[in-house]
């Protein structure tokens, strides 16, 4: 089954397009997991227990696992999410050249999909794109202020901005390799709409709803493709919803369910 088919099946089964980000910031972990052998894994396990019914995917960001224990915690987390029937999208924003890209792409043996950075061009992404049944979400228009610096530049040809050209190229890659999506921030709904009209078939991963204050309605309306496949992510708004209390896992579950319901009103 292709990743997009798998994701579509999961969205239907969970009745949810919620992506739950798993960014276990060591400085914010609750006291009752801090003494675990792998605090990040202990935290993620309880978050997964509390939220998996409401999650279309779990999305760990690689930045929070970049050390020896971190990679162990990530492996455990991925296996546990899979045990709950939830696909895992690794938010790694990777890209590199030749044999190095092939090395990075080996992580796709463990996770179901990954985010990648387009700046190095198609051949740098090929090791990801050519993996069967693996999803590849290409950074297109990001929700941070710096998204204006380069992504927003107008090109001399094509009558497009850079991020629009990235979207068009990603659609070509999708036609050739399959299972390609885009990462498009929710903080600029007009642009989200314009990109959707340009590439109706691609699923989007829309971060920026929640802590980053994006527009949930636009995220759903334009984030999902023709078949209703797409993802709206929240990380801190879910996993740290109950940060200052002992019932933090239950609070995360409530936050995930509330977000699912809020998004489902627009599906």
Q: Which sequence positions are flagged as catalytic?
A: 93
The residues with which 87 forms a beta bridge, in sequence order, are: none
Positions 186 through 215 that interact with a second copy (CB under 8 A): 212
The residues with which 57 forms a beta bridge, in sequence order, are: 19
Using alpha carbons, select from 263, 193, 240 the residue that is nearest to residue 51. 240
* Count of positions on this chain that bind a second copy (CB under 8 A): 56
Provide the minimum distance between the beta carbon of 141 and a second copy in the complex, in angstroms, as a whole number: 10
Cβ closest to a second copy, residue 100 vs residue 176? 100
Provide the minimum distance between the beta carbon of 228 and a second copy in the complex, in angstroms, as a whole number: 27
Provide the minimum distance between the beta carbon of 25 and a second copy in the complex, in angstroms, as a whole number: 7
Give the integer Cα–Cα distance in Å for 227 and 245: 40
Query: Is residue 192 classed as helix, strand or coil in its secondary structure?
Result: helix
By CB under 8 A, residue 124 contacts a second copy: yes
Positions 217 through 256 that interact with a second copy (CB under 8 A): 236
Give the integer Cα–Cα distance in Å for 105 and 181: 16
C-beta neighbour count of 106 within 10 angstroms: 10
Of 4-12, 95-103, 216-224, 255-263: span binding a second copy (CB under 8 A): 95-103
Q: Are 90 and 107 in contact (CB under 8 A)?
A: yes
Positions 20 through 49 that interact with a second copy (CB under 8 A): 23, 25
Provide the minimum distance between the beta carbon of 68 and a second copy in the complex, in angstroms, as a whole number: 4
Convert residues 145-184 into a mask of x (bound to a second copy by CB under 8 A) and - (unbound): xxxxxxx-xxxxx----x--xx--x---------------
Q: Of the candidates 7, 20, 81, 95, which one interacts with a second copy according to CB under 8 A?
A: 95
What's the CA angle centered on 164, arms 116 and 227, to 5 degrees?
A: 75
Please state at what angle helix 216-223 crosses helix 248-264, rounded to 10 degrees: 60
Contacts of 148 (CB under 8 A, 6+ apart): none
Q: Are 136 and 112 in contact (CB under 8 A)?
A: no
Using alpha carbons, select from 99, 131, 96, 133 the residue that is nearest to residue 117. 96
By CB under 8 A, residue 118 contacts a second copy: yes
Give the integer Cα–Cα distance in Å for 131 and 105: 8
Positions 56 through 85 that interact with a second copy (CB under 8 A): 61, 63-64, 66-72, 75
Provide the minimum distance between the beta carbon of 157 and a second copy in the complex, in angstroms, as a whole number: 7
Q: Of the candidates 119, 245, 246, 247, which one interacts with a second copy according to CB under 8 A?
A: 119
Which residues sit at the interface with a second copy, rule CB under 8 A? 23, 25, 61, 63-64, 66-72, 75, 93-101, 103-104, 107, 117-125, 139, 142-151, 153-157, 162, 165-166, 169, 212, 236
């Amino acid at each position: 089954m292709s990743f997009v088919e798998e994701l579509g099946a999961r969205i239907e089964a969970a009745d949810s397009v919620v992506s739950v980000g798993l960014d276990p910031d060591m400085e914010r972990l609750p006291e009752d997991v801090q003494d675990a052998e792998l605090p990040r894994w202990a935290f993620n396990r309880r978050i997964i227990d509390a939220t998996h019914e409401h999650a279309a995917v779990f999305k760990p960001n690689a930045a929070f696992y970049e050390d020896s224990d971190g990679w162990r915690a990530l492996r455990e987390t991925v296996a546990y999410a899979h045990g709950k029937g939830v696909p895992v999208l690794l938010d790694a924003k990777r890209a590199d050249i030749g044999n190095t890209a092939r090395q990075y792409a080996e992580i796709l043996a463990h996770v179901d999909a990954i985010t990648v950075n387009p700046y190095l061009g198609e051949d740098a992404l090929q090791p990801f794109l050519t993996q069967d049944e693996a999803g590849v979400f290409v950074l297109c228009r990001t929700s941070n202020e710096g998204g204006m610096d380069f992504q927003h530049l107008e090109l001399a040809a094509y009558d497009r901005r850079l991020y629009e050209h990235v979207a068009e190229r990603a659609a070509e890659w999708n036609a050739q390799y399959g299972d390609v999506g885009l990462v498009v921030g929710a903080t600029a709904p007009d642009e989200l709409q314009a990109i959707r009209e340009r590439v109706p078939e691609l699923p989007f991963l829309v971060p920026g709803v929640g802590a980053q204050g994006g527009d949930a309605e636009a995220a759903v309306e334009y984030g999902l493709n023709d078949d209703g496949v797409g993802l709206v992510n929240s990380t801190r708004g879910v996993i740290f919803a109950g940060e200052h209390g002992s019932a933090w896992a239950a609070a995360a579950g409530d936050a995930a369910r509330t977000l699912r319901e809020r998004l489902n009103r627009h599906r």
